A and B are shown apart, each in its own frame.
Chain A
């Protein structure tokens, strides 16, 4: 019974570089969420996918951030021209149905991104 997995677990990069963070949701879950957790803060919503489409991307901080889920399963969060302020733990969650606030979200362990 695999849960949500995220790779890599840690990523160190230099300012200005491009990074990709991967999320494998629980099999059969149609909804997928990305959150960002900065040091000392709670997770903040970034984007929500229902199937292959981004149903709500209003949490993405700027146009350097982009996410895809081409086959409705695995998702990749892409960050261009990374900045030191992007350093955080990036969390992925999936839920069975989505589109409802009663659906339980299951979280992965996160990817810790450090931008030097």
Chain B
């Protein structure tokens, strides 16, 4: 089975400060890793994904994430946030192979609030 833990339900930060949103996963098989963002009244939008290769993945809007296999983590970072980054962020995994290909397993989400 797969599970995703987002350790912080809410992260408040001031504008232009750096931020890290934490994600840990557990899985009995190899997985792909994703971060999605959900702005108010909008659908989930893919920020970035790790499939293979370099463990540092760059996404849209200046976000990046680092895959750490030994720590089973995929933390999301941004060096300087903007008020427009205020949204809910979801970490997700999907399996390499097996009968549930394509199915995404999501964490509970982290609400990032950026204050002026």
Binary A-proximity of B83-115 (CB < 8 A = 1, otherwise 0): 000000010101110011111111111000000
User: Which of A101, A104, A105 contacts B101, CB < 8 Å?
Assistant: A101
Count, A-B residue pairs, CB within 8 A = 70
Using a Cβ–Cβ cut-off of 8 Å, how many residues does chain B contribute to the interface with A? 29
CB contact under 8 A between A4 and B43, given known A101-B94, A101-B96: yes
Contact present for A103 and B109 (CB under 8 Å): no
Contacts of B101 in A (CB 8 A): 99-101
* Most chain B C-beta atoms within 10 Å of own C-beta, residue among A42, A56, A108: A42
Binary B-proximity of A53-75 (CB < 8 A = 1, otherwise 0): 00010110000000000000000
Contacts of B95 in A (CB 8 A): 101
Contact present for A33 and B43 (CB under 8 Å): no
Distance in Å from the Cβ of A67 to the closest Cβ of chain B?
A: 15
Contacts of A104 in B (CB 8 A): 46, 49
Using a Cβ–Cβ cut-off of 8 Å, how many residues does chain A contribute to the interface with B? 31
In the complex, besides A41-B109, A101-B31, 14 extra interface pairs with C-beta distance below 8 angstroms are A4-B43, A42-B109, A43-B90, A45-B104, A45-B105, A48-B103, A56-B100, A93-B44, A101-B101, A102-B32, A104-B46, A107-B44, A107-B45, A110-B43
